[in-house]
Structure 1
């Protein structure tokens, strides 16, 4: 694969950063677009392209030549210790050689500090710690970033713009500029390289794109740092504290932020921030903006705030009636028996608050217990979809139904 030197050009009200790519399945060029007012944030280095295309190149087993200028530190890390780490985490990757002829010392670190903003629990927690609360000047947020690198699924560009419109007023109210970054990066990743298992490098590519004005990028941690793991089952989520420091350059430092909290602790922390009552968005559905109040992440959040007695605060962003009607009892049953970290934390909160589980949830929990244990075992083994998903769905169809659960 060859990555040609980057070109930066204006396209209407936007500015496009583009590199031509040869020898790799996918589009003929990788591009990122931002509003023209953020032109000063864009880098003239090839760093974003190498970070974005490293995993697809390793999946194809093709050596890479970078024709444009590249940060010496990033080249050293991605040529060396980063590749064995990715091979351990993602099956089917091969070591590759990276040839770069224009290595540069990236120069001094810019003063900007950014984090990704999705309206979710993790990103709001970073804002709480590094903007709403007192933070050292070098770690206090100056920008929020919302990007399109694959997290919007089938909704694509339409859903990206729709979600951005929902986030922009919240960013304005808390006093931080929101940088929107569109890209065709996801078109280089096939079904084997899902967003769930490759998002760390996708978002790092966006951070490196903005290193013209951003010197620190705080990536919102999904898991507490004491649960960091280096296994295929963890994907690129549990291992972020290990991986992210390897993706920086001389101008940009990347950190995993928020790892001092469990998910339950984050939710309880955010419940005291009124802005989240109107803007919290945790849903995993990729066909619309807002919360469905039925998916796993919605149910996880709703169960936590109900047990804590805070559900009414979030009535504007969740359909509480749908939750109580269609998912509440089933999810309570899962929480009572699952060994999943999120569920055990919620169960611990219930014990602490002396929460009275509904008797129907208790009954259904015992009926569902064997399936819950199997799901935990499959997750621990790191068996990938769709095989394990089809197996679990088949078991659910054979599972005794509980007439008390709707």
Structure 2
């Protein structure tokens, strides 16, 4: 794979950074676009393209030849240590060689501090510690990021724009500059779920902006007890280990919030008034609002119900839809071995919350087998041999994707 130096173009208030890509399989261009107001944040280095295309190149055992300047610290990390890390998480990857035309140390670190903001639990929890309640000037958030690098599913760019538009009222209340970053990066990740690769994709955007951003705070998903480096469906399990390996001398990239459980974060966020009319946690990629029925919506709603805080979020959830399947979902929670759902059960015990008798009966008789099936599928997904068989068969690939989606809707 050959990657050229970045080319900056301007059109109708948009600034686009383009890297031409030559490969036997990949699209011929990787691009990022921001509003021209934020053009000054863009870096002239090739760091973002190198990180963005590392996993796709490793998947195809294809060396990378990259023009332009790559930050010295990042180059050495991606050449060896970070590849070893990625192979531990995604065993189907192969080690590759990286050849850069110019490797140079970064001179100085910009003062900007950025975090991704989607109005979810994780992003609001980061704001709680590093904006609303932060008195440390060197870590106080100065910019919010909203990226289109794969999280919007089949809705793609249209859903990205719809969701970002819906955030505007909240962003105005928060009072921070918000940088929307559009990209075609997802086109290079055929065969990879966003959940399995999100950290790399979003951090590549941060590297793009290191012309004005010197610290990137990535909201954690899991607490420290759950952190591990092994084959997994969600790269978030590895973030405290992997993110520091992506820092350069010009930008520090780190995970924040692992000191809290999911329940603790939800309670912290419930005290942020700005979240009451804007919390957005829906897992359905085709939805521009909270469906109140998917696993993420129900997980949050049940936590809020146990805490007695549902009435704070009547503007952003359909409580009737939640109550329609409430007991079935409670049964799934009671039967699950998912650490985030086990937290909810523990929290319910601490709050003396009584689950309905029907939910307890369902948990004993019907939901357990589904969770065993999920464990089998997730184990299979981590097996390199089975991955190869699935990837070589288009029908199996479609079936696997449907199975993952179906299982996702039951937890």
TM-score range (shorter-chain normalised) is: over 0.9
Instruction: Please give the residue correspondences for 1:148-227 in structure 2 after superposition, counting only pairs within 5 Å.
Output: 148-191=148-191, 193-227=192-226
TM-score normalised according to structure 2 size = 0.92
Instruction: Please give the residue correspondences for 1:221-240 in structure 2 after superposition, counting only pairs within 5 Å.
Output: 221-240=220-239
Equivalent residue of 2:346, what SS?
helix
In the other structure, the counterpart of 1:324 is: 323
Gaps of 5+ in 1: 397-406
Equivalent residue of 1:66, what SS?
strand
Q: Report the Cα offset of residue 168 of structure 1.
A: 1.8
CA, structure 1 residues 393+58, in 2 after alignment: closer, same or farther (shift >3 Å)? closer
In the other structure, the counterpart of 1:98 is: 98
- Tell whether the 8 Å contact from 1:338 to 1:376 is kept in structure 2 after alignment: no
Instruction: Please give the residue correspondences for 1:202-351 in structure 2 after superposition, counting only pairs within 5 Å.
Output: 202-325=201-324, 327-351=325-349
Alpha-carbon distance between aligned partners in 2 of 1:264 and 1:122, rounded to the nearest angstrom = 11
Q: Report the Cα offset of residue 125 of structure 1.
A: 0.3
- Tell whether the 8 Å contact from 2:41 to 2:210 is kept in structure 1 after alignment: yes
CA, structure 1 residues 389+375, in 2 after alignment: closer, same or farther (shift >3 Å)? farther
CA, structure 1 residues 388+208, in 2 after alignment: closer, same or farther (shift >3 Å)? closer
Larger mean CA deviation between 226-235 and 271-280 belongs to 226-235
- Tell whether the 8 Å contact from 1:150 to 1:185 is kept in structure 2 after alignment: yes
Alpha-carbon distance between aligned partners in 2 of 1:216 and 1:282, rounded to the nearest angstrom = 25
Q: Report the Cα offset of residue 379 of structure 1.
A: 6.7
- Tell whether the 8 Å contact from 1:109 to 1:250 is kept in structure 2 after alignment: yes
Alpha-carbon distance between aligned partners in 1 of 2:10 and 2:151, rounded to the nearest angstrom = 26
Alpha-carbon distance between aligned partners in 2 of 1:45 and 1:151, rounded to the nearest angstrom = 25
Question: What do residues 58-103 of structure 1 show as CA deviations (whole Å, max 9, x unaligned)?
Answer: 0111111111111111100000100011111113211100011211
Q: Report the Cα offset of residue 336 of structure 1.
A: 1.5
Larger mean CA deviation between 151-160 and 370-379 belongs to 370-379
Alpha-carbon distance between aligned partners in 2 of 1:369 and 1:153, rounded to the nearest angstrom = 28
Q: Report the Cα offset of residue 288 of structure 1.
A: 2.1
Equivalent residue of 1:83, what SS?
helix
Q: Report the Cα offset of residue 24 of structure 1.
A: 4.9
2:85 corresponds to 1:85: yes
2:115 corresponds to 1:115: yes
Q: Report the Cα offset of residue 235 of structure 1.
A: 3.2
Alpha-carbon distance between aligned partners in 2 of 1:19 and 1:213, rounded to the nearest angstrom = 20
Equivalent residue of 1:180, what SS?
strand
Gaps of 5+ in 2: 383-396
Equivalent residue of 2:138, what SS?
helix
- Tell whether the 8 Å contact from 1:89 to 1:235 is kept in structure 2 after alignment: no
Q: Report the Cα offset of residue 392 of structure 1.
A: 11
Q: Report the Cα offset of residue 383 of structure 1.
A: 3.2
CA, structure 1 residues 197+24, in 2 after alignment: closer, same or farther (shift >3 Å)? farther
Question: What do residues 282-312 of structure 1 show as CA deviations (whole Å, max 9, x unaligned)?
Answer: 0011112110011110110011001111111
Q: Report the Cα offset of residue 337 of structure 1.
A: 2.2
RMSD: 1.9
Instruction: Please give the residue correspondences for 1:130-141 in structure 2 after superposition, counting only pairs within 5 Å.
Output: 130-141=130-141
CA, structure 1 residues 393+10, in 2 after alignment: closer, same or farther (shift >3 Å)? closer
Larger mean CA deviation between 370-379 and 9-18 belongs to 370-379
Alpha-carbon distance between aligned partners in 2 of 1:230 and 1:382, rounded to the nearest angstrom = 17
Alpha-carbon distance between aligned partners in 1 of 2:104 and 2:405, rounded to the nearest angstrom = 51
- Tell whether the 8 Å contact from 1:340 to 1:376 is kept in structure 2 after alignment: no
Alpha-carbon distance between aligned partners in 2 of 1:152 and 1:20, rounded to the nearest angstrom = 24
Q: Report the Cα offset of residue 393 of structure 1.
A: 6.8
Q: Report the Cα offset of residue 375 of structure 1.
A: 4.3
